[in-house]
Amino acid sequence: METRADAAPAETAAPVERRASVVEGWDEARAPTPGTAFWNAMPRATRADAREAEVTKTTSPLRVVHITAELAPIAKVGGLGDVVEGLARAHGKMGHAVTVILPFYSCLPTDKIDGLTHVMDYDVTKGRYQDGETRYFNFRTTAMRGRVNGIDVILLKPHDDERSNIFQGSKIYGGSYDEREAYLYFCRAAREFLIASGENPNIIHCHEWQACGFPMIFWGLRDAYGQDCDGMSNAKIMLTIHNLDSNGEARQEEFCATGVDASMFATVDKALDERTIGHNPERLCLLKGGIVYSNHVTTVSPTYATEILAGGGGFTGKNLVGNKHKFSGILNGIDPESWTPSDDPFIPYGYDSTNVKSQKALCKKYLQRGLGMKEDPDAPLVVCVSRLVPQKGVNLIEQAIRTTRFNGGQFVLLGTGHSDGVFRKMAETEEFGENSDSTRLMLMYSDALSHLLYAAADIVIVPSMFEPCGLTQMIALRYAALPLVRRTGGLADTVFDIDDASIDENERNGFVFDGTGAEDIDVALSRAFNLYKSKRSTFEEYQKRAMNVDNTWTEPAQSYIDLYRTL
């Protein structure tokens, strides 16, 4: 049964008898109330400053502008928002001048934007295709400036937003507006803002297909009409591909939202989508255009870059002919100010590598009590925090739930998505429903609960079919939960199998499998359970070691700066 944070506990049949456990250090007065949204209570009142390594300030700062559809925490849908925030904050701490340009969605929580002020109103050339004809006109645009978690942010929107539905709606994506029109207009608006404001960046860092119109018109207008961008003649453009699952297919007439005729891009060597050749109409691939017109392209892990160049993720080798030389992969990082178990306000008992065994056991008992599960310290607790979509290996998650229960473990799933139907059906059964003492299927989103799950978990599974980078396994390691992953993308770059003798003992930190069948994840789970049950001290030693893996932004941020400078 689904549990909602805003719902009162439902009346149920007599609860299953739970076996209480005795865990040293347990404070009964702080225990959660089962059947409530206890994870929202923030059990610890204060938070210390996150412990970060000292950052040396640069003596030659760069001016970097990010163009993105997401920025955590104000405009976060997936990992994109986290990555832009983490990278921008890391570079800011290094002394670089960083600005993020973001759409001013009507649903943004303006109370979380510090010092929000009006910057300017200006005209942006925009086109409209109607009745077989394209007409271009000046579209008045408003720019606002503020700060989000210390990051300088520029927010762009139509000036007369009562007469335009662009970026209107109750959520970031899926509003009433046409997303292709909105983001193509946004790219042109960002270009014109940079010219009008005199920002003069060294690097313009674009993210995903939503920002790919920017490099296309930035260089396309110069090449076709000699229209240099005043004040940006030395700027270089980097594009980061976070996920090839969406690549921005657009009809040529739709591209007029940039105020530019698409015909200059409608060739195979530029932005024409080869998959549509011979169709009526042939279409553009915005991501391909972004790749062609950017000075450099990164993906969010080295392995994902290799997979893309090999034709994975919906792209073929033909798409990349002449552009492979400008690809590289840099792993994402996680923000220690959000993910540090020693001072995490969302968990009841903080810990570090010196006391992880005792304190993690308390977090596990806390979660078991709150969710009404058996309070058994010896049952391996398996956790999955994920969007429930095909990419994330829904069939393998389902198999892991069944296998965990069969082998005497406990399983908690937190997530939602358009493929969550199988879990809704499971939650209606006696075996896996609300009266089960070993399984909880939390079909919802809760950032607070996710923190507690990582803190309580022994094992965190990430059985993705493809995973450009993945933050889940990095967070799991930081919280001393051993990740169990399918070998793909960034998972392959960050998790190294405990039983792989070819890997240095000090680098092994989880469990890895290769296939896509039920038996593949079963074997990996069996190995994890065997280590947990028969060699607990060894399992716990790996947990301590996992906490010392540095997956913060320190190294990736420097790698980006090094790459910026080569451009």
Confidence category of residue 92, pLDDT binned at 50, 70, 90? very high
Confidence category of residue 225, pLDDT binned at 50, 70, 90? low
Contact 226, 294 (CB under 8 A): no
Q: What are phi and psi of 108, to 5 degrees?
A: -65, 140
Copy the structure tokens of residue 525.
Answer: 């789970």
What confidence score (pLDDT) does residue 234 get?
A: 83
Pick 100 or 316 by higher pLDDT. 100
Q: Tell me the pTM.
A: 0.89
Pick 358 or 230 by higher pLDDT. 358
CA distances in angstroms from 170 to 75, 167, 173, 278, 420, listed in the order given? 12, 9, 9, 39, 22
What confidence score (pLDDT) does residue 12 get?
A: 36
What confidence score (pLDDT) does residue 13 get?
A: 37
Contact 335, 552 (CB under 8 A): yes
What confidence score (pLDDT) does residue 57 get?
A: 92
pLDDT digits (tens, 9 = 90+) for 104-151: 999 999 999 999 999 999 999 999 988 888 999 999 999 999 999 999
Confidence category of residue 453, pLDDT binned at 50, 70, 90? very high
What confidence score (pLDDT) does residue 228 get?
A: 62
What confidence score (pLDDT) does residue 315 get?
A: 56
Confidence category of residue 4, pLDDT binned at 50, 70, 90? very low
Q: What DSSP state is assigned to residue 30?
A: G
Confidence category of residue 279, pLDDT binned at 50, 70, 90? confident
What confidence score (pLDDT) does residue 289 get?
A: 94
What confidence score (pLDDT) does residue 319 get?
A: 59
Q: Is the pLDDT of residue 370 over 70?
A: yes
Sign of CA dihedral 186, 192, 193, 194: positive
Contact 431, 401 (CB under 8 A): no
Stretch 351-366: mean pLDDT:
96
Residue 158 class from Cβ within 10 Å (0-12 exposed, 13-18 middle, 19+ buried)?
buried
Lowest mean pLDDT, pick from 135-149, 324-338, 346-360, 480-494: 324-338
Do the domains 336-551 and 63-104+179-333+558-566 match in fold? yes
Q: Is the pLDDT of residue 401 over 50?
A: yes
Share of the chain above pLDDT 70, in %: 90
What confidence score (pLDDT) does residue 22 get?
A: 63
What confidence score (pLDDT) does residue 111 get?
A: 95
Contact 432, 405 (CB under 8 A): yes
The CATH code that applies to domain 63-104+179-333+558-566 is: 3.40.50.2000
Copy the structure tokens of residue 303.
Answer: 């392995």
Q: Which of 315, 267, 328, 263 is nearest to 287 (CA)?
A: 315
pLDDT digits (tens, 9 = 90+) for 342-355: 999 999 999 999 99
Question: Distance from CA of residue 456 to its chain's centroid?
Answer: 22
Bridge partners (DSSP) of residue 411 are 382, 439
Bridge partners (DSSP) of residue 41 are none
d(CA 212, CA 198): 22
Query: Mapping DSSP to helix (H, G, I), strand (E, B) and coil, where does residue 282 land?
Result: coil
Q: Which of 549, 537, 485 is nearest to 511 (CA)?
A: 485
Amino acid code (one letter) for 79:
G
* Mean of per-residue pLDDT scores for the chain: 90
Which sequence spans correspond to the domains of the chain?
63-104+179-333+558-566, 336-551
Q: What are phi and psi of 247, to 5 degrees?
A: -125, 10
pLDDT digits (tens, 9 = 90+) for 180-215: 999 999 999 999 999 999 888 999 999 999 999 999
Confidence category of residue 19, pLDDT binned at 50, 70, 90? very low
Neighbour-count burial for 402-418, b at 16+ CB within 10 Å, e otherwise: bbbbebebbbbbbbbbe
What confidence score (pLDDT) does residue 54 get?
A: 66
What confidence score (pLDDT) does residue 49 get?
A: 46
Confidence category of residue 232, pLDDT binned at 50, 70, 90? confident
Lowest mean pLDDT, pick from 280-289, 432-441, 446-455, 475-484: 280-289
What confidence score (pLDDT) does residue 322 get?
A: 67
What confidence score (pLDDT) does residue 231 get?
A: 64
pLDDT digits (tens, 9 = 90+) for 65-78: 999 999 999 999 88
Helix or strand run (H / E) with residue 126:
strand 114-130
Q: Is the pLDDT of residue 8 over 80?
A: no
pLDDT digits (tens, 9 = 90+) for 155-169: 999 999 888 999 999
What confidence score (pLDDT) does residue 174 get?
A: 74
Domain with residues 336-551, CATH architecture = 3-Layer(aba) Sandwich (3.40)
